[in-house]
Structure 1
Amino acid sequence: MLPAYARGNSRYINSDISDRADVRILPPLSRRIKPPLTSGRTLVEVEGAGICFRWTDAHDSPEVVLEKRKTGDPLADEAMSELLSTSNPSSSSPTPPPSPPPTKHKHDFLALARKQAAASPSGACAALLNSINEPPPFQVDWSSIARGQDFFLRRAPSTSLALLHLSLVGGFSSPGINEVLFGTGYLMNSKPSVVQLRLFETMAMVIACMAHGPATLREGGGGLEAVARVRLLHAFVRRRLLRRMKGWDEEKHGIPINQADMAVTALSFSVNVIFGSEALGCPATAQDMSDYIHLWKLIAHRIGVLPENNPHEDYDTAVAGLESYLLALVKPDESSSRASAAVLSGVADQPPFKLTFQRLSSLSRCCMGDILADALALPPMTAADRIFVAVCKVALRLQSTIADAFPNFFARRGENVILANLEMFLGEKGVAKRFNKTMGGGNDGKPDEKPGGKPDGKPLTRFGGYDDEEREASLKKLEENLKALEERKGKRTFTMLNKALLGIIVVFVVRAGTSAK
């Protein structure tokens, strides 16, 4: 029996061995094989993940992947250094420029970068902004970009679940990525409402790239601006972790948010969404897979993945890239189980469905398979969980079937619902406005880059986002919205049942008409 992650994906297991009973319990071949690996003949298993695949020439060896961990984002890092040097000039400077006036909210890195680029057109900030706005070094098919966005939006129920349960929860199986999360305190050591708020902030960038069509990824688009802010924030986090956090093991984990981490994260949001949707009963068509991968090829480039490290050439290359990164980086440990538990606890028992931690864990287990779920210490499925997952699969398959029959309507419907939920939970009108407040640093309108940092090595939890007053206001707004959702739960459930029945009737009518012809 193959892991759920591999079942149905011929790229993982060739048909001639798909019925072998010992595939799942193979010894950890990946720890015994020494390069060169034989193309097409070597069966490789990722230890602790339950993933097997045939090695091909498209794969990168673990040594090649680990070498990419030594490089960050040179353009963004240089731009951040320029921002910090101009905002906080050294005392030896004879005539330091005046500080910008205080602002109500923490500063906006993108606004500061634009201001600096205007003042110094040949500087690092100008180079970064030009690279983000100029055409990429590959041909962009904008019609394919639009179709990739529509695929995510019209199948929003299954793609969103795959994003949470496989891309995010499964992504914690890499200790190197977890070190950044623990170092910043971004998801750890927080109460569930804070975790939920931060998850919605993370989703906001993805949705900003999916909503409003291809224009969002062109110059001046909301998606491109969101990506630019995240890229600058990554540069700020890299600098702080390396300069201010004691105990960061660069030899072991590489540079924080390095090329390998950024590439595998993009693959998690692209390939894993396709795999997770399939595990939930909603397989994508070849056209959908090709379009969605092309979309993330552009996003990965904009987010700072160097062209030579961008694995999204096509679907097969992207899958081979994900397999290569999993082989080199996936080593679930205690931090992996802590991170996955923090995320699932943050969304458990929340309206409108109020799914328990156990139910959410069963969806994660369905997406990633038993072996990886066991490594993340997720609870095993009960008989009731299996029934719940089966019902979810039927409902999701029904939704995806109807959505594929009426793609334009459901793409716009999914976009409107997702944006409305983000605005409601984040307490702001507009995703871009929230990013202006989230991707910041200091309290006085300029970056806070004082030397030293916390001498006790405790997590640096204020990389940018909110000051205490803003955080409390956002949490209060979130709690009010959750309470309002709870009060409307019964009414919403009745409405959803009506819509489901209507959908079933429509399917039967369409099929009856087809049969009559």
Structure 2
Amino acid sequence: MTSLDVRSVTELYERVPSPELASSTLLRLLPKFLAEDLRPTQAQVEGFAKYGVTGDPLADAVAAAMKGPGGKELRGQFEQALAHGIDTVEDAPPVLREFFATVEEVPYWVDPEKLQRGAEVTSRMGPLLAPSLLVGLALTYTTPDGNAVLLRAGDTRDKAGTRAVETLSWLSAVTTPGALRRGELGYQSSVRVRLTHAFLRSGMPKRADWDEGRFAVHQQVFSSVIVAFTLVPMVVAGMAGNRLRRKDREAVVHLWRYIAYIVGVHPNLIPATESDTSRLLWMFLDEVIAPDAGSTELGTALIAAYPEIYGVTGKKPSHRVARWLLPQLHSVVARAALGDKVSDVLGFPRVNPVVLPLVGLTMAVTTVWSALDVIPPVRRARTKVMHRSRVKVIDRMCRRTHADLSYRRE
């Protein structure tokens, strides 16, 4: 916690009123932000509410066109534009040109140096990125509207390990240095995620088991996902002993700001600074996050899939130990980042004190290595080594779970 310059939590809570779940979320570990007044005004609450029934008109129009006459040809044109740019597509229909005019535009606020730095900071987490993102993924299961879609699409519950690793693979891709440039893997996969959201939005209301009063995959839901994947890895990295300077944290926020833009999050819901991110999280706590039975169902399915994800399904003693240890270690991360209340609902076990020495050793080693980042050659070398290690870990996870990596295709 010292690497995040944490003040007394008790002191801060005496000064800042909290929404119902604040005491059990990662806001507890971000007191720097709590020093500000994060409470929304009534006008902000009213403005935020409309995004619970807002989709992505440009992507929705493309999805509708792909379902109509000439859809197969349009899909081919989409892939051509995605890989090589809309200008390479002859006689591209207006619906596709309008979509890619926005997607291909690089906003004035995009800073290539910050994108690079944010990706490098994330890369230095190495294999630690996987458990932090798995905990971040679990946090996304605390939105009832999001759960309603996940429980009905893509076997998220029955194939929890596979779906989780597919998400991890995407997250690894978009946080790779240089991957958000036009035509690169992170850029392409993010645009495909945006189109997938549109297909889900159009398909869910046609299901017999869908609640007519619910809006599928609205802006509040996938904006909250962006916030979860921005904050949880930073909190975990700091807890593990990584040296996170303000420039590093702001660079990570900037990286996810651009990812959110490509994925189609409404500009009014994309935080520009770490204070914005915390303020938006505060809004989610008050208005969106409400763990329910679906949270428990999805969370416990994800935890049960850890042996498959990490490849410890065998009968060897080491595998048996690992099957007990993995939920414990992830629970340490979850309870520190999300708090006990949310962690209990998601199905994380109570932490056995036996694992604490291992956690302490990990923190000590990471702190020592991170302290050497002040030496540029060491920092660059550590970034490369940890990134390669992360890629290998996630690639092995993909093979074990037979993850669908079709987003990697040209």
- Asked if Structure 1 and Structure 2 have the same fold, meaning a TM-score greater than 0.5 normalized by the shorter chain, the answer is yes
Q: Tell me which amino acid in the other structure corresponds to 1:263.
A: S
- Displacement of 1:16 in angstroms is 4.1
Give secondary structure in 1 for the equivalent of 2:67. Answer: helix
Q: Tell me which amino acid in the other structure corresponds to 2:208.
A: K
- Displacement of 1:144 in angstroms is 0.9
- Displacement of 1:237 in angstroms is 1.3
CA distance in 1, matches of 2:350, 2:302: 18
Q: Is the 8 A contact 2:303 2:348 kept in 1?
A: no
Q: Which residue of 2 aligns with 1:156?
A: 126
- Displacement of 1:141 in angstroms is 1.1
Q: In the alignment, does 2:305 pair up with 1:336?
A: no
Q: Is the 8 A contact 1:208 1:222 kept in 2?
A: yes
Q: Which residue of 2 aligns with 1:412?
A: 384
Give secondary structure in 2 for the equivalent of 1:43. Answer: coil
Listed one character per residue, the Cα deviations across residues 348-404 of structure 1 (whole Å, up to 9, x for unaligned) are: 373478342344333322332222222334221222133343333334434433456
Q: Is the 8 A contact 1:48 1:331 kept in 2?
A: no
CA distance in 1, matches of 2:158, 2:211: 21
The equivalent position to 1:259 in structure 2, one of 216, 219, 228, is 219
The equivalent position to 1:72 in structure 2, one of 46, 50, 55, is 55
Q: In the alignment, does 2:273 pair up with 1:291?
A: no
- Unpaired runs of 5+ residues, structure 1, are 21-40, 89-98, 101-106, 440-517
Q: In the alignment, does 2:18 pair up with 1:47?
A: no
CA distance in 2, matches of 1:358, 1:297: 32
- Displacement of 1:77 in angstroms is 0.4
CA distance in 2, matches of 1:265, 1:407: 30
Q: In the alignment, does 2:232 pair up with 1:272?
A: yes
Q: Tell me which amino acid in the other structure corresponds to 1:125.
A: L
Give secondary structure in 1 for the equivalent of 2:151. Answer: helix
Listed one character per residue, the Cα deviations across residues 50-95 of structure 1 (whole Å, up to 9, x for unaligned) are: 246564366785443332111111110011111111346xxxxxxx
Give the structure with the larger helix fraction.
2
Q: In the alignment, does 2:147 pair up with 1:187?
A: no
Q: Which residue of 2 aligns with 1:140?
A: 110
Give secondary structure in 2 for the equivalent of 1:305. Answer: coil
More displaced stretch, 219-228 vs 152-161: 152-161
Listed one character per residue, the Cα deviations across residues 439-470 of structure 1 (whole Å, up to 9, x for unaligned) are: 9xxxxxxxxxxxxxxxxxxxxxxxxxxxxxxx
Q: Is the 8 A contact 1:227 1:302 kept in 2?
A: yes
CA distance in 1, matches of 2:288, 2:274: 21
- What is the identity percentage for the equivalent residue pairs of Structure 1 and Structure 2? 19
CA distance in 1, matches of 2:248, 2:278: 15
Report how many aligned residue pairs link the two structures.
Answer: 380
Higher alpha-carbon Rg: 1
Q: Which residue of 1 aligns with 2:360?
A: 390
The alignment's TM-score, normalised by the length of structure 2, stands at 0.81
CA distance in 2, matches of 1:234, 1:398: 42
Q: Is the 8 A contact 2:373 2:379 kept in 1?
A: yes
Give secondary structure in 1 for the equivalent of 2:109. Answer: coil
- Displacement of 1:182 in angstroms is 0.2
CA distance in 2, matches of 1:373, 1:404: 35
CA distance in 2, matches of 1:109, 1:198: 28
CA distance in 2, matches of 1:49, 1:184: 32
Q: In the alignment, does 2:38 pair up with 1:56?
A: yes
CA distance in 1, matches of 2:46, 2:212: 16
Change (3 A) 1:384 1:427: closer
CA distance in 1, matches of 2:406, 2:133: 21
CA distance in 1, matches of 2:405, 2:350: 41
Q: Which residue of 2 aligns with 1:322?
A: 281
CA distance in 2, matches of 1:16, 1:330: 25
Change (3 A) 1:412 1:132: same
Q: Is the 8 A contact 2:104 2:182 kept in 1?
A: yes
Give secondary structure in 1 for the equivalent of 2:290. Answer: coil
Q: Report the aligned-residue RMSD.
A: 3.3
Q: Tell me which amino acid in the other structure corresponds to 1:239.
A: S
Q: In the alignment, does 2:177 pair up with 1:208?
A: no
Change (3 A) 1:378 1:422: closer
Q: Tell me which amino acid in the other structure corresponds to 1:289.
A: R
Listed one character per residue, the Cα deviations across residues 187-237 of structure 1 (whole Å, up to 9, x for unaligned) are: 2023xxxx33322211122222222x23x2122222111111111111111
Change (3 A) 1:76 1:291: same
CA distance in 1, matches of 2:184, 2:16: 45
CA distance in 1, matches of 2:352, 2:82: 54
Matches within 5 A, 1:464-503: none
Q: Which residue of 2 aligns with 1:435?
A: 407
Q: Is the 8 A contact 1:276 1:368 kept in 2?
A: no
Q: Is the 8 A contact 1:43 1:55 kept in 2?
A: no
Change (3 A) 1:359 1:134: closer
Q: Is the 8 A contact 1:120 1:126 kept in 2?
A: no
Q: Which residue of 1 aligns with 2:316?
A: none
Q: Is the 8 A contact 1:274 1:283 kept in 2?
A: no
Q: Is the 8 A contact 2:243 2:371 kept in 1?
A: no
Q: In the alignment, does 2:109 pair up with 1:130?
A: no
Give secondary structure in 1 for the equivalent of 2:18. Answer: strand
Give secondary structure in 2 for the equivalent of 1:86. Answer: coil
Q: Which residue of 1 aligns with 2:92?
A: 121
Q: Which residue of 1 aligns with 2:260?
A: 300
Q: Which residue of 2 aligns with 1:224?
A: 187
Change (3 A) 1:108 1:202: farther
- Displacement of 1:176 in angstroms is 1.6
Give secondary structure in 2 for the equivalent of 1:256. Answer: coil
CA distance in 2, matches of 1:49, 1:79: 42
Q: Is the 8 A contact 1:46 1:330 kept in 2?
A: no
- Displacement of 1:256 in angstroms is 1.7
Give secondary structure in 2 for the equivalent of 1:282. Answer: coil
Change (3 A) 1:425 1:359: closer
Q: Tell me which amino acid in the other structure corresponds to 2:252.
A: Y
Q: Is the 8 A contact 1:109 1:232 kept in 2?
A: no
- Displacement of 1:123 in angstroms is 1.6
CA distance in 2, matches of 1:365, 1:57: 24
